[in-house]
Amino acid sequence: MARPRQFDEQDAVARATDLFWRRGYNATSVRDLGDELKLTPSSLYRTFVDKHTLFLRTLDHYRATESAQAEQRLGADGRPIRHVLRDWMLWLVTGPADGEPGRGCFVVNTATELGTTDDEVRQRTEDAFEVTRQALRSLLREGRHLGELPTDLDVDDAVELLFTTVLGLRVRERAGHDSARLATAIDVAIQAMGFTSAEPS
C-alpha cells in the first residue's frame, strides 16, 4: 500500500511557482526545491517525476491564476474601454504579486530565459500569451463597437502593438525602471490607438 502523502500537493506547486518565479529555472536546483517544499529528493522525484515536470506544472498553475486575473481585469465592465486598458497596464507594472517589486511576469521571465530551447515550455508560454492577446482583442473590438475607437482600426495590428508594449513593460518593471516613466509609455501607447478621448483619467 502506498504511503499517504504528508503535504498538500497543490500548495507545493504554488510554492515551487514562487521559487521558480524569483530565481528562474536554471538557477533553481533540486536541492533548492526540496528545501522550499520540505521534501527529500526521493519524495520530490516520486511526487513530481523531475524538476522539469514540476516546472511545467508551475507554469500551468501560474496561467490558471495570474493569467486568469489579467483576463478578468481586461473584461469590459461598463467603464470606458480606454480606462479599462490603462488600469490593466498600470496594474502590470505597479501591482506585482505579494507587493514585491522587480519580479516581472513569470511567463515573460521564462520566455526570455528559455526562449525556443524547450518546446513544452514554449507551448505553455505561447498559450499564456494568447490569453492576453484574445482579451485585448475582445476589449478593442468592444471599443470599436461602442464608437470609442475608429471604425477603421485594425484590431489585430493594434493588439500586436499593445502586446509588444506589455512585454516591454514587464521587462522594464523587472529591471526596476521608474513607474512614472512606464506610466508615460502606457499613455502614449493608448493614445496611439486613436480613442475618441485621449486624456487619461
d(CA 47, CA 44): 5
CATH annotation of 59-191: 1.10.357.10
Nearest of 197, 19, 177 to residue 98 by alpha carbon? 19
Give percent of the chain with pLDDT exceeding 70. Answer: 90
Which set of grid coordinates corresponds to residue 37?
517544499
pTM of the model: 0.84
52-90 burial, b at 16+ Cβ within 10 Å, e below that, comes to eebbbbbbebbbeebbeebbebbeeeeebbbebbbbbbb
> What is the reported pLDDT for 3?
43
Q: For cell 500500500, name the residue.
A: 1
Contact 107, 129 (CB under 8 A): yes
**pLDDT, tens digit, for every residue of 144-189?**
999 999 999 999 999 999 999 999 999 998 888 998 999 999 999 9
> What is the reported pLDDT for 198?
44
**pLDDT, tens digit, for every residue of 113-132?**
997 899 999 999 999 999 88
